[in-house]
C-alpha cells in the first residue's frame, strides 16, 4: 500500500544522533542552539526557540502572550485538533471561523465578524503550506489590538509576498513531527522578532528557569538557578535537534521534489469532471500534503484507490463537530460543504515516478 506520507531519513541522521550519544549530553544543549540558528537563517527571523512538539509551540506561545481564562482565540475549524487543544490548554475558548473554498485557509471576513472585546488572538493555519492573507491579518492586529499567532505546522519554508512564513506576524509556531516538511523525530519551534517575547518563551520552555542547564554547566556555580516565571518541560533534546539539522540540509531538494509531484498531479487532474483542485501558489508554497475535492461518495473513491494500492486520507475532520468541542459549535457553511469532499492523496519526497503514475492512473480510472 502506497502510504500518504512518510519521513525521508537516512544514514546522515543516524550518524548525527550517534554523535550526540558520544557526547553524553542528550538533553537540550549546543546541538539545539545550532538547530535554532540554522532555522533562523532559513526563515529570516531574529529568534527561533525549539520545543518538544508543534502543539507545545502553540501552547507556550499563547501562554507567553498572556492568553488565559475568559479570553477567546479565533481559529478555523478545518485544522488538526492540536490547534484547538492548545487553546483549551491555556484556559481560553476557541471561536471557530469558516474557510475559503478555493484555498481552505481562514475566511478573514468571517474573522472580522467574530472579533469582540474577549478576542485576544487570531490563529491562522497555513493550510497545506499555502500562506494565509498576512496583509489582512496584520490589519486586524493594528485595528483591534489582537495577537496574530500563526499555526505554521504545514508551512516550513513557505513564503508570503517574498517573506518567509515565520518572519511576518507576532509569533509563529512550527511542527517537525515525522511527516512534516522536515522532521526532528518529534519537535516544534516558535519564531518571533520580539526579543522580549522570545526571552519569556525560552524561560517557559524549561520550567521558568532563568538559565538553561547546558549554559549553567559552563559557569562556576553550575548548581545555581532562579525560577522567574511559570513554565513547562517543553524543551527540545539534542537528539531531536541532531535529526533536524540534517533535515535542514536536505530541505531544498525535499521541497523541489514535492513541488514537482504537486504540479504533475494538478496537470493530470485538471479538467476532470468530479475533481476540484484548490488554489496553489507554486512559487511560494512548500507543500505539506496534496488535497483535492471530489464529487460523489468519497468513501467509495477511497475504497477503490485502496484496492489499487493507493493510500488516502482526510485532512481534516472539522473541530466544531467534534464531541469535546460541541459547546463551541457554530454554523460554518463552507467548512461543512467541503468536509465531505476533501481527499488527501500520497505526497512525500521518496515517491518514485511509478508511485506518482500509479496515483494518477488510479484516480483517472475511477473518474472515467
Pick the range with the lowest mean pLDDT from 13-17, 195-199, 213-217: 213-217
Provide the residue ranges of all domains of the chain, joining segments of one domain with +.
Answer: 11-247, 251-367
pLDDT digits (tens, 9 = 90+) for 126-160: 999 999 999 999 999 999 999 999 999 999 999 99
What band does 212 get if pLDDT is binned at 50, 70 and 90?
A: low
What band does 169 get if pLDDT is binned at 50, 70 and 90?
A: confident
Q: What per-residue confidence (pLDDT) applies to 284? A: 98
User: Nearest to residue 94, comparing CAs of 232, 111, 102, 180?
Assistant: 111
Q: What per-residue confidence (pLDDT) applies to 226? A: 87
Q: Please write down the HEC assignment for all residues of the chain.
A: CECCCCCCCCHHHHHHHHHHHHHCCCCCCHHHHHHHHHHHHHHCCCEEEEECCHHHHHHHHHHHCCCCCCCEEEEECCCCHHHHHHHHHCCCEEEEECECCCCCCECHHHHHHHCCCCEEEECCECHHHCCCCHHHHHHHHHHHCCEEEEECCCCCCCEECCEECCCCCCEEEEECCCCCCCCCCCCEEEEECCHHHHHHHHHHCECCECCCHHHHCCCCCCCCCCECCCCCECECCHHHHHHHHHHHHHHHHHHHHHHHHHHHHHHHHCCCCCEECCCCCCCCCCCCCEEEEECCCHHHHHHHHHHCCECCECCCCCHHHCHHHHHHCCCCHHHHHHCCCEEEECCCCCCCHHHHHHHHHHHHHHHC
Over residues 102-128, mean pLDDT: 98
User: Hey, CA dihedral for 37, 40, 46, 49, is it positive or negative?
Assistant: negative
Q: In what order do the strands lie in the sheet with 275-276?
A: 275-276, 290-294, 342-345
C-alpha cell at 259: 513541488
Percent of the chain with pLDDT over 70: 96
**Cβ-contact 53, 186 below 8 angstroms:** yes
- Hey, which residues are catalytic here? 180
pLDDT at 220 over 80: no
What band does 233 get if pLDDT is binned at 50, 70 and 90?
A: very high
Distance CA 338, CA 293 (A): 7
Distance CA 336, CA 340 (A): 8
Q: What per-residue confidence (pLDDT) applies to 217? A: 52
Computed over every residue of the chain, the mean pLDDT equals 96
Phi-psi category of 129—alpha, beta or left, where left has phi over 0 and alpha has psi -120 to 50?
left
pLDDT at 213 over 60: no
Q: In what order do the strands lie in the sheet with 93-97?
A: 47-51, 188-192, 171-175, 147-151, 119-122, 72-76, 93-97
**Cβ-contact 161, 151 below 8 angstroms:** no
Domain 11-247, CATH number (from 3.10.20.90, 3.20.20.70, 3.40.640.10, 3.30.413.10): 3.40.640.10
pTM higher than the cut 0.85: yes
What band does 222 get if pLDDT is binned at 50, 70 and 90?
A: low
Domain 251-367, CATH number (from 3.40.50.970, 3.40.50.300, 3.90.1150.10, 3.40.710.10): 3.90.1150.10
pLDDT digits (tens, 9 = 90+) for 15-74: 999 999 999 999 999 999 999 999 999 999 999 999 999 999 999 999 999 999 999 999
Q: What per-residue confidence (pLDDT) applies to 225? A: 83
Distance CA 76, CA 214 (A): 39
User: Nearest to residue 166, comparing CAs of 25, 270, 298, 50?
Assistant: 50
Between β-strands 147-151 and 171-175, what pairing exists: parallel, antiparallel or unpaired? parallel
Amino acid at each position: 500500500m502506497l502510504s500518504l506520507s512518510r519521513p525521508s531519513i537516512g544514514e546522515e541522521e543516524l550518524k548525527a544522533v550517534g554523535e550526540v550519544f558520544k557526547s553524553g549530553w542528550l538533553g537540550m544543549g549546543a546541538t539545539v542552539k545550532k538547530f535554532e540558528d540554522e532555522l533562523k537563517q532559513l526563515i529570516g527571523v531574529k529568534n527561533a526557540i525549539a520545543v518538544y512538539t508543534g502543539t507545545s509551540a502553540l501552547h507556550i506561545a499563547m501562554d507567553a502572550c498572556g492568553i488565559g481564562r475568559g479570553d477567546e482565540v479565533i481559529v478555523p475549524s478545518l485544522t488538526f485538533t492540536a490547534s484547538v487543544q492548545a487553546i483549551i490548554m491555556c484556559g481560553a475558548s476557541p471561536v471557530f471561523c469558516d474557510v475559503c473554498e478555493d484555498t481552505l485557509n481562514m475566511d478573514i471576513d468571517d474573522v472580522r465578524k467574530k472579533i469582540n472585546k474577549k478576542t485576544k488572538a487570531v490563529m491562522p493555519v497555513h493550510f497545506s503550506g499555502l500562506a494565509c492573507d498576512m496583509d489582512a491579518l496584520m490589519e486586524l492586529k493594528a485595528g483591534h489590538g489582537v495577537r496574530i499567532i500563526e499555526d505554521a505546522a504545514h508551512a516550513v519554508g513557505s513564503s508570503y509576498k517574498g517573506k518567509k512564513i515565520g518572519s511576518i506576524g507576532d509569533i509563529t509556531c512550527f511542527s517537525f513531527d515525522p511527516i512534516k516538511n522536515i522532521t526532528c523525530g518529534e519537535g516544534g519551534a516558535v519564531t518571533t522578532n520580539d526579543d522580549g517575547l522570545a526571552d519569556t518563551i525560552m524561560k517557559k520552555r524549561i520550567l521558568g528557569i532563568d538559565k538553561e542547564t547546558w549554559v549553567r554547566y559552563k559557569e562556576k556555580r553550575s548548581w545555581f538557578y532562579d525560577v522567574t516565571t511559570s513554565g513547562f518541560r517543553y524543551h527540545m533534546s539534542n537528539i531531536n535537534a541532531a535529526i533536524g539539522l540534517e533535515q535542514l540540509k536536505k530541505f531544498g531538494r525535499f521541497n523541489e521534489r514535492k513541488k514537482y509531484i504537486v504540479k504533475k498531479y494538478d496537470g493530470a487532474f485538471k479538467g476532470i469532471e468530479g475533481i476540484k483542485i484548490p488554489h496553489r501558489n507554486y512559487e511560494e508554497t512548500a507543500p505539506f500534503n496534496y488535497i483535492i475535492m471530489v464529487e460523489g461518495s468519497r468513501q467509495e473513491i477511497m475504497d477503490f484507490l485502496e484496492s489499487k494500492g493507493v493510500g488516502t486520507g482526510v485532512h481534516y475532520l472539522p473541530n466544531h463537530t467534534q464531541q469535546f468541542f460541541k459547546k463551541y459549535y457554530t454554523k460554518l457553511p463552507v467548512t461543512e460543504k467541503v468536509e465531505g469532499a476533501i481527499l488527501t492523496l500520497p505526497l512525500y519526497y521518496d515517491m518514485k515516478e511509478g508511485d506518482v503514475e500509479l496515483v494518477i492512473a488510479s484516480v483517472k480510472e475511477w473518474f472515467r
